[in-house]
Amino acid sequence: MVLSREDAKRVLARMGIKKTELPWMFSTDPVAEALGAQPGDVVMIIRESPTAGRSVSYRLVISG
């Protein structure tokens, strides 16, 4: 899911980091393309696992 600018600001403030400190995802990544994510967008990734439960991570979309 691509976060709105307001949601991204809220998440980054809660985490106490800058957008540039997030792990990267290239705009040419199949997932980024499927979501329509553009460079500068913050993407939320939710993974379900039988051992870890639910894991949420964030990526900064960059050109590439």
pLDDT of residue 43: 97
Query: Could you give all domains of the chain from N- to C-terminal order, each with its CATH number?
Result: 5-62 (3.90.940.20)
Residue 52: pLDDT over 90: no
The predicted model gives 9-16 an average pLDDT of 97
pTM value? 0.87
8 has pLDDT over 90? yes
Q: What is the pLDDT of residues 13-50, one digit of tens each?
A: 999 999 999 999 999 999 999 999 999 999 999 999 88
Distance between CA atoms of 3 and 27, rounded to whole angstroms? 15
